[in-house]
Structures are given as C-alpha cells and as structure tokens.
Amino acid sequence: MVPGGLLASRPRFDWVLILGPLTLALGLGMMASTSPAMLIAMVLIDVWLFANPHVVATYTRIGACAADVRRHWFLIFFLPAIVLAGVVATALAYEVAGLFTLYFVAQTYHVARQSFGVARAYRRTESGPFRPDRVAEALVYLFPAWGLLARCADAPQAFLGYPIQLPAISAQVVDATGIATLVCGVWWLQRQCRAALTGKINWRHDAFVASHLGVSFVAYIWIADITLGWLVVNIWHNLQYLLFVWMQNIRRDIQAQDAMASQVDVAGLWRNAARYGGVCLVLGAALYQAADWTGTQLLWLGLPMVLITHFTLNFHHYLVDGVIWKRRR
C-alpha cells in the first residue's frame, strides 16, 4: 500500500496538485465557452498568470545557483540559438501556419510527456522496488494521440486567431484509435478496481492518471473548437507544472539542508510558495515583454519575429524539460 505522496511531510498537498489544476481548468474553460470575448479574456489570464510563469519555473531548475548554471551551461547559452534557427527555418518554409502547426503538435506531446513524468513520480512513492504501470503509461500517450488525430481529421483552419494546417487524417483512423484507447482504458479501470478491493492501489497515482485522461478527452474530443480545447488543457498543464516544480524545489531544499521532511511546517511551505509564485509571475511577465520588444525590433527582417521569439522560448522550455527531468541511472 502507498502511504505518502511527493511531499512526504504534507501528503495532502498532492491532492492540491491533482484536483486544483483540474477544477480551475474546467471552470475557466466553461467560462470561456460563453462568448468570444470571454474566450479572449481567459486566454489572456492563462498567458499572463499561468503560461509565462510556468516557463520561468523551468529556469528555477537550471539557473537557481552557480552550480546549476555550470551543470546546464549548454542548455542555457547554446540551445536557445539552435532552437531559434529551427523556428526561423520553419517560418521560412511554412510561414505562420507552419509555426502554429508545429506548436500545437509539440505542445500535445509535451503535455503528455509531463503527465508521464508526474505519474512515474507517484509510482516511485510506493514502498518496495519501482514497478512502472505500463497500461497507465500507454493511456497517458494514447488519449492525447487520439485527440491529436481527431483534431487533424477536423481540419481546423484557424487556431488562436492564426492559420493552422494540421496533416490530413481520415475519420477511420481516428475511430480505430479511439476504440483501441477506450478498450485500453476500460481494461486499466477494471484492473484498478480489483486492486482497490485488495488494498493494493496507489490512489494518488491513479487519481492523477484519471485526471490526465479526463482533461485529454474533454479538451481534444468533447470540445469541438480547437482554441477552447487548447485553453482547457493548457491551463491544466501550466498550473500542474507550477505546483510540481514547487514541490520538487521543496524536496531539493530539504535534501540540501539535510533536514527531515517532518520539520517543514505549513506556514513555511506557504511562504515559500508565495515567494516562488511571485518570482515566476514577475520574471514571466518580464521575459515575455522582452520577447515582444525583441520581436518588434526585428520586424524589418520581413518575418513574424514576435511569434518567432515567443515560440523560441516555448520550444526551448520543451527541450530543457526533456533533459532536466530524466532520472539519472
């Protein structure tokens, strides 16, 4: 049986991570569905309060101290130039539609990959040797893949007000993928029900996986509008990432101080959370204002440089995440 969560001193914080982003994403998504003006308002709230800070949260993992900078020097100083070159090449070859197509596909994979990592973190809280749940891990990828194929079959012409050109996919492929995904989901659900009856279940892991599956289904399959669906999954992803990084930073600080987790009090955790959230919010706003300014100054190049600078930040964040969260063997 699994006793604790990611934050051993306060396991109830795990339910904030699991249920908080889910509730807020669905609630704000419902508000955004009421009118086009409300959709724009919710997108702006997501960008400034959640998306910008969530990118900055990555850099609290690679640039928090001089040792981190020395360890991740390539990611900090050289990778941005490589990503910029790739984004510029995409813009030259496929224009704005190519940029947004690349972003939508990459973001879908990035969200699934993050959920895979969080789910594995919860599996590692089990007592005994680590045993991955292969069925759950397959579902973490299957639901977004089904959703992405469904979006391709829908062939939307606009996303966030910009053109998008997703690859053409037949409805038969989408239906076959959906059937396989649902069959796998039913298998996993009945297996977890049997485990619950015998007391051999990781409730936090299974609740997290269920939240991922639910959000993916709502955002990609249930919601017809691509922008509204993206908004729901993006709010969920951004909030989840901010909370997860905060928890991991707390764990890192505890280990660095050689202190027991039980010595961390709730008031101290909330003070740390307020400080972390404030830093991410302020630096996120500053970073994206700098990206806007830089892009505006380079418009003479004849390219959508504002979009290029913003996508460079996002794709760099995706690649950095793919490196720093890999568990060292």
In a domain, 115, yes or no: yes
In a domain, 180, yes or no: yes
Does residue 278 contact residue 56 with C-beta atoms inside 8 Å?
no
DSSP assignment of 66-84, as one string?
HHHHHHTHIIIIIHHHHHH
DSSP 300: G
pLDDT at 61: 76
Q: In this predicted structure, which of 96-100, 142-146, 223-227, 291-295 has the lowest mean pLDDT?
A: 291-295
Q: Give percent above pLDDT 90 in the chain.
A: 65
Its domain, for residue 24, covers: 13-321
105: left (phi over 0), alpha (psi -120 to 50) or beta: alpha
d(C-alpha 72, C-alpha 100), whole Å: 29
pLDDT tens-place string over residues 85-105: 999 999 999 999 999 999 999
In a domain, 289, yes or no: yes
DSSP 325: T
pLDDT at 2: 46
Phi/psi at 3 (5° precision)? -85, -45
In a domain, 225, yes or no: yes
Look at the alpha carbons of 202, 205, 207, 209 in this order and tell me if their dihedral is positive or negative.
negative
Query: Could you tell me which of 52, 26, 82 has the C-alpha nearest to residue 314?
Result: 52
Q: In this predicted structure, which of 51-65, 176-190, 263-277 has the lowest mean pLDDT?
A: 263-277
In a domain, 127, yes or no: yes
* H or E element that contains 163: strand 162-163
Better-predicted residue by pLDDT, 183 or 324 = 183
In a domain, 213, yes or no: yes
Total domains, the chain: 1
The pTM of this model reads 0.91
Q: What is the mean pLDDT of residues 303-326?
A: 90
Q: What is the mean pLDDT of residues 146-154?
A: 97
pLDDT tens-place string over residues 117-135: 999 988 888 776 778 889 9
Does the pLDDT of residue 260 top 70, yes or no? no
* H or E element that contains 238: helix 226-256
Partners of 158 in the beta sheet?
A: 163
In a domain, 2, yes or no: no
In a domain, 8, yes or no: no
Q: ∠ CA(29), CA(233), CA(132), 5° rounding?
A: 140
- The number of angstroms, rounded, from the C-alpha of 74 to the middle of its chain's C-alpha atoms is 23
Confidence band (pLDDT; 50, 70, 90) for 250?
confident
